[in-house]
Amino acid sequence: MYEKHRHLVEENRSTEFSQLLEQDDSVRTAFVSLFNYFECISLGVAHQIHDEEFMRKSFRSIFIVYLNAYDFYIQYRRKKFNYDRIWKEFTDLAAKWKNTLYDYFFNP
């Protein structure tokens, strides 16, 4: 699905992207499940169930890639459902790791 509709992601066309997800149950389920998984990892870090350093080393790249690619859709869902907590722990943690990426490479 991503390759076929990459232009919607690259152009941040959230309404059309959302409509595509709504039309395909299996894609929507996979998409939501993935972000729920990221949210659970992030909640585990926030509650110190997971070691943040270990999780950062394991998930930083993928979190940043997904935040960069799909933040437009996450923001759309938050507005659509009038609920700003949708995948909030994930987006906060991914943004934190993204903001510290410079330090990781240039101030070890």
| Model confidence, pTM | 0.84
The domain segmentation of the chain, as residue ranges, is: 34-106
E-strand ranges in 1-108 read: none
Query: Residue 89's pLDDT is what?
Result: 98
pLDDT digits (tens), the chain, 108 positions = 767 778 888 888 888 888 888 888 888 899 999 999 999 999 999 999 999 999 999 999 999 999 999 999 999 999 999 999 999 999 999 999 998 876 666 555
Rounded to 10 degrees, the C-alpha dihedral 41/97/60/87 comes to 40
